Amino acid sequence: MYKIFMLLYGLSAILLIAAFYGMNYFNAPVKNDDFWGGNGHLAFFIPVVLMPFILYFLYGTIELSMRIADRWLSQKKIVFGISLSLAYILATSLWTIRVADRFRMYIVDTKDAYNKPAQFPMFNVFSNHLFFNPFTFILVVLVCFVVGAVWSLARKTTRKM
């Protein structure tokens, strides 16, 4: 059973990495003369089709991090890993939001159709490269690690009682 779990987890990881890079392929250029428009956000097709694999990857990462934390890490190391992961999550989230807000201002300056940034969301057809990159992939993995490590800590404290 564990081999099937790892095989599906590996397949899900490969597909999720491919999805992150595939989302960037559908990034629309901001220049007025380059954008053909009217097709919607084609990149949303990728996560919709791969949703079962994405969810399995998230579950598998949480499960593996919980098992690793249970077997090989002491409580101090788990807390240190959670703290380090939360620092990375916070820094990457703030950086992504800041860059996306600046990019929205760039779109307003470049595109004639928009007057102010509040007219469209941060995640749009032009900004896939900001939200689907290696930094945000690591962020997803670390969020799963934090959930698994907290789950491991909760299991360790209930065993002691």
User: Whole-angstrom Cα distance, residue 66 to residue 42?
Assistant: 35
pLDDT at position 29, please? 66
Render pLDDT for 54-97 as a digit per residue (tens, 0 to 9).
Answer: 999 999 999 999 999 999 999 999 999 999 999 999 999 999 99
Q: Residue 145 and residue 139: Cα distance in Å, rounded?
A: 10
Whether the predicted pLDDT of 32 surpasses 90: no
Residues in the chain, total:
161
CA distances from 72 to 36, 75, 85, 161 (A): 53, 10, 18, 21
pLDDT per residue as tens digits for the range 129-155: 888 888 999 999 999 999 999 999 998
Model pLDDT, residue 157: 79
